[in-house]
Amino acid sequence: MFLNKDYFQNDAIFLAKDLLGKILVREINGKKILCKIVETEAYIGPEDKACHAYNNKRTKRTEAMFLEGGCTYVYMIYGMYNCLNIVANKKDKPEAVLIRAVEPLNELEYLKKNRNIKSKKRYDLTNGPGKLCKALKIDKKLNKYDLCKNKKLFILDSKDKKIEIVEAKRINIEYAEEYKYKLWRFYIKGNKFVSKI
Q: List residues binding DNA (CB under 7 A).
A: 41, 43, 50-52, 57, 59-62, 75-81, 83, 85, 96, 98, 115, 117-119, 124, 128-131, 134, 140, 171-173, 175, 195
Q: Are 90 and 80 in contact (CB under 8 A)?
A: no
The amino acid at residue 101 is A
Nearer to DNA, 26 or 134 (CB): 134
Nearer to DNA, 50 or 67 (CB): 50
- In angstroms and rounded to an integer, the radius of gyration of the C-alpha atoms of the chain is 16
Q: Are 37 and 19 in contact (CB under 8 A)?
A: yes
Q: Are 22 and 157 in contact (CB under 8 A)?
A: yes
CB of 116 to DNA, least distance (A): 8
Nearer to DNA, 4 or 140 (CB): 140
Work out the number of other CB atoms within 10 angstroms of the CB of residue 87: 27
CB of 130 to DNA, least distance (A): 3
CB of 173 to DNA, least distance (A): 5
Rounded to a whole number, what is the distance in angstroms from the first to the last CA of the chain? 30
CB of 195 to DNA, least distance (A): 6
